[in-house]
Every structure is written in structure tokens, then in C-alpha cells.
A and B are shown apart, each in its own frame.
Chain A
Amino acid sequence: DTGVSQDPRHKITKRGQNVTFRCDPISEHNRLYWYRQTLGQGPEFLTYFQNEAQLEKSRLLSDRFSAERPKGSFSTLEIQRTEQGDSAMYLCASSLVQNTQYFGPGTRLTVL
């Protein structure tokens, strides 16, 4: 059990560029979650998957955001046409159904 991993840890991009983040959950965890955390705030739920199915999306997930989990293992979160307001820490978590969510170290995005 190596824990949840996220890549990259830091990303700096210019406004208008697209970015993609990757999350590798704990093996055999069938649920995977994405959260966004801005400075001085708690994490805010974005979306989650059970296996490869995306079961819920927050209204925070605008149409510029898309998440996938094609084979029910790792997941990617893409942000298109980034805006300065997208600057945040993006956290991934995984769990077995109805169990504790284990968080990764996060990807810190800075949009210039």
C-alpha cells in the first residue's frame, strides 16, 4: 500500500492554457474523489468515480473541467482555458465504498 499519489506536485501555467493532473489511488480502492482547496479554505468537493463511472459532479465543476477514470484505476483532471481563479491545490482521495477517504499530497496549480 503506497498511498494515493498525484502528479505533478506543482504546475505553473499561463492564463488560457490547458492543464492535466493525474491521480493514482490506493490499489483496489474503487472510489476516487477530486477536491479543490483554495488558500485559507477547506477542500471543496468536485467529483467522484466508482470504478470508471463518474457518479456525481459538483456545480463547482464548470464545463472547462473534465475528469476521467477510463479503466477504473488512475484518474485525470483536465482544466481547459485556465483562469487565474483556478489557482488552487487540487486534491485526490480514494476509498473503498462507504469507508475512509485517503488523500494524496495534492497538485498546486498557479495560473499567471
Chain B
Amino acid sequence: AQSVTQLGSHVSVSEGALVLLRCNYSSSVPPYLFWYVQYPNQGLQLLLKYTSAATLVKGINGFEAEFKKSETSFHLTKPSAHMSDAAEYFCAVSDRGGADGLTFGKGTHLIIQP
């Protein structure tokens, strides 16, 4: 069975500082991995996805994530936080190329301090 663990239910950073949101997964087969962002009272928007090509994946809004098989991790980073980045972030895993139901982590609430 696949699972996702997001360390830290809340992460607070100053505007302009590095953003690091942690995600560890377990999967019995090579996984497909996703990061989604959710703003209040809205659905989920895809930030980026890993599909077994390049291990460093670039997404929208300046975010990127690196797949590390040895650490079973897929952490999300952004060099410089902006106030508009404040939202809930979810990591998700699929072992069938995203064609099945995704398994999500519990989410990390990102707070940006001015």
C-alpha cells in the first residue's frame, strides 16, 4: 500500500526566505509524485509532478521538487517566499501513473510572515 507523510502541519517563513516543505512516501513500485496547492475555499491546483523522468522537477510559481529514491522523499522548495504563497500544500502519490485514485498527505499550511 502506498502512503505519504508530510512533516510539519504548519510551516512559517519570512517573506523572501527559502520555503522547504517535506514529503516522504512509501510505494511498492516506482511512484508518480505530485504537489498540489489549495487556497481557502478552493479546489486543488497542480504545482508539479514527478513521472520518472528528471529527478529535479520545476513547477509553477517558482516551485521545484527533487525526487530522492534513497531517501523516499520529494520535498518542495522555493528560493524566495512571497505573501501570495500562503496556502495549504499537499503531496500525493500514485503507483499507476496518476491513473488511479491519488493518496494524499495530511497537508502543510504555509504561513508567510511580512
Contacts and interface: CB of A to CB of B under 8 A. Distances in A.
Interface of A: 4, 31, 33, 35, 40-48, 56, 58, 91, 93, 95, 97-106, 108
A4 B43 contact: yes
Interface residues of B, number: 25
B102 A91 contact: no
Q: Which of B96, B100, B105, B107 lies at the interface centre, i.e. has the most chain A CB atoms within 10 A of its CB?
A: B100
Nearest to A55: B100
Interface of B: 4, 9, 34, 36, 41-46, 49, 90, 92, 96-107
A41 B107 contact: yes
A105 B99 contact: no
Contact of A43 (B46, B97, B104): B104
Contacts of B98: 95, 98-101
Given A47-B101, A103-B44, 5 more contacts: A42-B92, A45-B101, A48-B100, A98-B98, A100-B46
Nearest to B96: A98
A93 B102 CA distance: 11
A99 to B, nearest CB: 6
A32 B38 CA distance: 19
